[in-house]
Amino acid sequence: MKEKFYNYIKNLQNTITSQFEKIDGKSIFKEDIWEHPEGGGGKTRIINNGNIFEKGGVNISSVTGELPEIIKKQLKVQDSSFFACGLSLIMHPLSPMIPSIHFNIRYFEMYNKNLEISDQWFGGGIDLTPYYIFEEDINYFHQKCKIICDKFDNSLYKKYKKNCDNYFWNSHRNESRGVGGLFFDYLKKNEKVSLKNLYKFISEIGDNFLLTYIPIINKRKNINYTAEEKKWQEIRRGRYAEFNLVHDKGTLFGLKTNGRIESILSSLPPIVRWEYNFTPKKGSKEEKLIKVLKNPIDWIN
């Protein structure tokens, strides 16, 4: 499975980066190949200063190593030898009218003292972070997520959307990072679901990723925006950075397992503002975003 999944994400990385380069029309991804000190490595691909994307990363990795105690407790495992591979993507558009997007799929194996697989699971998610609310875009995004889930089980969308709303919650701000999507972890085979079927579910999300995002880009890329709207985007990017540095488990895992710092922090926005006690004007489009982020919304209904 680990070979099958890694081959899949290598091809998916190629597909996504080539399509994003076509959309951007100016910048291309620069590839950085790196090695993990305990085994394995990855390919980090970064795009900067484009027509559409101010900064973005589409990264894959495949690493082995030993888990530190803090991560063993987090993952609730006894063994420490692990294999992990995955694709992690974050795109920060230049225009504040286009939302940022995060997408991640990953596969884990744990090994006992005899180097036999003691546990294995999939995880991942996809979520949208707008700076201005276009309800039809958010509805479209969630509809696509639900269609993917419904192919496998009609109960999955509601479950994984709730997981996403709970996970991407900036508790120190009492607001969501964005407008949600799907989030799942520890997807393991059992008497009802095989590892093969879990792989099909994960790859279905990967295969449909571009369809969830590109139509939104095309719809909003030609909208003019002001310097004040760009400033608002940069203030909201600060909230994005806060979540990644304070709450995100993936960031913590990378830092605690001797991961590559440049790749781990490549998800951070390029230009960010922290203005003291900034409050949007009442009745403004900016205030509308804040109100939306205070409570999870059923975007489909």
Q: Which positions are catalytic?
A: 102
Q: If you search the block for the tokens 């495949």, which residue do you land on?
A: 62
Are residues 72 and 78 in contact, defined by beta-carbon separation less than 8 angstroms? yes
Give the H or E element holding residue 159. Answer: helix 156-167
Q: DSSP secondary structure string, 89-130?
A: EEEEESSTTSPEEEEEEEEEEEE-TTS-EEEEEEEEEEEEE-
- Report the alpha-carbon distance of residue 276 to residue 278 in Å, rounded: 6
| C-alpha to C-alpha distance for 68 and 72, rounded to whole angstroms | 6
Kindly give, in sequence order, each residue whose CB lies less than 8 Å from that of residue 43, ignoring residues fewer than 6 positions away.
10, 13, 31, 32, 33, 34, 59, 60, 61
Residue 68, classed as helix, strand or coil, is coil
- Angle, helices 195-220/135-150, rounded to nearest 10 degrees: 160
Q: How far apart are CA 43 and CA 34, in angstroms?
A: 7
Task: Specify whether the CB–CB gap between 177 and 127 falls below 8 A.
Answer: yes
Q: Is 56 exposed, middle or buried (0-12, 13-18, 19+ CB in 10 A)?
A: buried
CA distance 210 to 16: 7
